[in-house]
Structure 1
Amino acid sequence: MSLRLRLLLLIGVSLSLLWGAVTAWTLHDLNRQLSRTLDQRLAMSAQMVAGLMAQLPSPRAGALPSFPDIHAGIACQIVSVRGEVLLRTPGAPKVAASRPPLGYADQVIDGVHWRSYTTEANGLRVTTADRLTERDALLANVRWAAAVPFFAALAGSLITLWFGVRRGLLPLERLRQSLSRRAPDALEPVDARHLPGDLQPLAASLNALLEKMGQALSRERRLTSDAAHELRTPLTAIKTHLQVARITQGRDAKIALEHAEEGADRLQNTLSQLLTLARVEGEFDWEDGHPALAGEVVSLAARDAAPRQPDRIAIGPLPQTPLALPQALAVTALRNLLDNALRYSPAGSQVRLSVWRDGACLHFEVADQGPGLSAEAMAQATQRFWRGSQSAAGGSGLGLAIAAAIAERFGGRLTLRAGEGGGLRAILALPARD
């Protein structure tokens, strides 16, 4: 259902119910007031006739002159206390035998419904009456006369509502047409200068979404370009070494095959890192139901980073604090930091790993004894495929980027600082559970 139709139905039904309720209440009150007025006319007519009769000498049957209707549509009859009809207007019902009660009464006489009023004065019973059919006809005419303006006003309101809704939704329709005419790769902001104030938040949210989409597309294009460049190098090296192995024999062929295998391992590592980064930055659900403890994370990360030289990682005291993120991601982030520190540290040197709790986060600090980074290089180190001037062989340039992406996804952060005695300190802050 379109927004225009929804607005028309909502406002139209509400307006119809409101007008209908007002019309019903007005007609009901009009019917009650008119019925009261007609009853008062009967009473006033009867009292007027009784007053006139009081000024005449003692009446007797047939001695009173007949006179026409005292009011149009009202019948009158005068009866003595002995039941003699002294006077009856033409068309009046014969109510002598029924002797209606004093006051108002509804009667059926000779198949005709009457509304009567009876009063007694000076030994005379005066009854005035009118036909209910005539009264109902009068009430129906009055009701129609009162209801027609209401229905006309309702119809006019609905027509005005139709044009008003169409006119009010024109800015939204123009915005829709503007977006439908755009090319798929057009991500420039929407011009919101001429939009009404109610649509300004929508335009602002749409522009923010377009900006995010532009950033995401730019990031993906950069990733694709960088990945193509990074994958081209090991593929070219593998192809070259295989060609050398094909045209040589003996030791040279063996060395070429070993180099091709190293290139394949590097390519596999780069692809694995790219897949991990894509999953971390995407909408992948990492909830595996396994709580991550600081001790287990450190143990698994150190084992994966230095499986053959575990003594190269000096680990300080470990608090048994649970982390507010899946264990697999915490291990991946810390392993990348340890692997990076081991790769850039001199052979045989140690990498220090310290863990402490500060506020809502658990901090993992990895300090190496490598050449370190300048302040400008630290600002660029977490970018994809970034490598410094003293980059180590075998690195893909994605380790720090993956660690930073994991930390940011769960509300943590990765901070790089210069070591006091040289080297680099990488501090990974991950959210902890109470």
Structure 2
Amino acid sequence: MKVVSLQNRLIKTSLISSVIAGSVALLLFVVISIYQTMQVQDEIMDEISDMLLIADLTSSSGQQIDELSDQFDIQYRLSYQQQILTQSEDFQLEQQYYTLNTGDDQYGFIWQERQLWRSYRAEDHQSHMQVLLLQPLGDRFKELMHSFAGYSLILIMLWLMQWIMLHFLVKRQFRAIHQLSDQISEKNADDLTLIQSSSIEFKELQPMLGQLNHLLQRLDQSLKAEQRFTADASHELRSPLSAIQMRLQLLQRKYPERASDFASMQQDISRGTQTLENLLLLARLDPEHAENLPKTQFALHTVIDEAIQALTPFIKEKAIQIQQQIPVAEQDNRIFANQQLIFTCIRNVLDNAIRYTPAKGCVYLSLNKQGQSLEISIENEGQGIDPEVLQHLGERFYRALGSKTQGSGLGLSICKKIMQLHHGQMELLPSPYGGLKVVLRLMI
């Protein structure tokens, strides 16, 4: 869905409304002006006609008629029984012209010289003299066109001024929304206090602010409940597991002939303890506080060696071969990160690869430098991986159906979160060896 700016939309809507209103007003002005101009000019033609029919053309009245006709570009002709008595100097009427009937015996329109003329005919019933007045229609509206152009220019300038004012005024009014956005962005797991409604002056934002504060309250309660659960789980679950483990050790010494049974129970307890530790670690990791994470400078290949050393008993148990390719020199694979968390991440990925590799199979590990990042690739042999299973890997507690391998389903989830804390990437791909390929990318 295309994202649009509410601020720009408000400015655009307001300006379009103003343009429409101004255009309608200008159109009404033009229509009314045309009507009034026609009325006034027709009255002038009627006045000149009356003056021609009743005036003595040899006196000053004739001069006054000429002045009026020149002023308003009106041509006249006075005739008696088809004999021309007098006419204006510029009067001309083509032999072939087109008359447009308007339903009025006196006023009409004539098309000649490629333009439209207003015509007026009158006759004195006593003297039987006839008057014909002609006026180019375009001359009537010269002043009107000048006025129209002037008003149009004024409107365009007003619209431009309105756009500038709207741009700054609407932007100023949106400061309240930006302030609310800044206050929301400042909220984190350590600060879920309510946003004060007094800082928001717009009534329309109050319902949204109320719902947001309600959400912050519920989120604060959920986080506190999770923190209480983590603390309680750490104390209540770890203590009985440790006690059971101690009793098993005593039983092993007392009944050495049942050592195999006790070893199986010991393995189950260790797996439960590890699951508990993973859950607590997953709950404590928060990508929002990555800047508070203690970090040191260390060589990545040493952490890889430590992870392999920690998993040596499992490697020997399944007769797994670890094939390493680390062409990067020691001085080039140093990173600034939390060494313990990176160790946990690599160990979990290696542990996952060893668990799902068939006995006497191979796990392939490589470390390469790609630009400004180091890339750790861990992949194992297998019988192929279902794309649907691959899509869900990395989710908490997810384990593929039908898998006989024991585990909590948290290892890759923890790795994913550790990479987020270090602004790195974890990519899960099908391996050409038939198993899973996990790629970890860390910035140098």
Q: TM-score, normalised by structure 1?
A: 0.51
How far apart are 1:134 and its partner, in Å? 2.5
Q: Note the 1:308-323 alignment, pairs <5 A.
A: none
Change (3 A) 1:31 1:171: closer
For residues 320-376 of structure 1, the C-alpha deviation after alignment (integer angstroms, 9 at most, x for no partner) is xxxxxxxxxxxxxxxxxxxxxxxxxxxxxxxxxxxxxxxxxxxxxxxxxxxxxxxxx
Match of 1:119 in 2: 122
- Give, in whole Å, the separation in 2 of the partners of 1:46 and 1:156: 43
Q: Note the 1:168-179 alignment, pairs <5 A.
A: 168-179=173-184
For the 8 Å contact 2:98–2:112, the answer to whether it is kept is no
Change (3 A) 1:55 1:130: closer
- Give, in whole Å, the separation in 2 of the partners of 1:56 and 1:205: 88
How far apart are 1:197 and its partner, in Å? 4.5
Change (3 A) 1:159 1:69: same
**One of 222, 227, 231 as aligned partner of 2:228:** 222
How far apart are 1:231 and its partner, in Å? 1.9
Match of 2:107 in 1: 104
Match of 1:155 in 2: 160
How far apart are 1:217 and its partner, in Å? 0.9
Q: Calculate percent identity across the aligned residue pairs.
A: 19
Q: For this pair of structures, how many residues does the alignment match?
A: 265
- Give, in whole Å, the separation in 1 of the partners of 2:38 and 2:195: 71
- Give, in whole Å, the separation in 2 of the partners of 1:36 and 1:197: 48
Q: Note the 1:11-410 alignment, pairs <5 A.
A: 11-55=10-54, 68-71=66-69, 72-94=71-93, 102-122=105-125, 123-198=128-203, 199-249=205-255, 257=262
For the 8 Å contact 2:189–2:223, the answer to whether it is kept is no
Long gaps (5+) in structure 2? 280-444
* SS of equivalent residue, structure 1 residue 187: coil
For residues 143-170 of structure 1, the C-alpha deviation after alignment (integer angstroms, 9 at most, x for no partner) is 1223333333322322222222122121
- Give, in whole Å, the separation in 2 of the partners of 1:190 and 1:56: 90
For the 8 Å contact 1:75–1:91, the answer to whether it is kept is no
Q: TM-score, normalised by structure 2?
A: 0.50
* SS of equivalent residue, structure 2 residue 66: coil
- Give, in whole Å, the separation in 2 of the partners of 1:132 and 1:231: 101
- Give, in whole Å, the separation in 2 of the partners of 1:17 and 1:259: 79
Long gaps (5+) in structure 1? 275-434
- Give, in whole Å, the separation in 1 of the partners of 2:165 and 2:131: 57
For the 8 Å contact 2:75–2:134, the answer to whether it is kept is yes
Change (3 A) 1:200 1:29: closer
For residues 372-412 of structure 1, the C-alpha deviation after alignment (integer angstroms, 9 at most, x for no partner) is xxxxxxxxxxxxxxxxxxxxxxxxxxxxxxxxxxxxxxxxx
* SS of equivalent residue, structure 1 residue 223: helix
For the 8 Å contact 1:115–1:129, the answer to whether it is kept is yes
- Give, in whole Å, the separation in 2 of the partners of 1:154 and 1:181: 39
- Give, in whole Å, the separation in 1 of the partners of 2:39 and 2:196: 71
Change (3 A) 1:233 1:8: same
- Give, in whole Å, the separation in 2 of the partners of 1:219 and 1:204: 23
Change (3 A) 1:12 1:93: farther
How far apart are 1:216 and its partner, in Å? 0.7
Change (3 A) 1:27 1:92: farther
Of structures 1 and 2, the larger Rg is shown by 1
Q: Please report the RMSD computed on the Cα atoms of aligned residues, expressed in angstroms.
A: 4.1
For the 8 Å contact 2:78–2:130, the answer to whether it is kept is yes
How far apart are 1:65 and its partner, in Å? 6.1
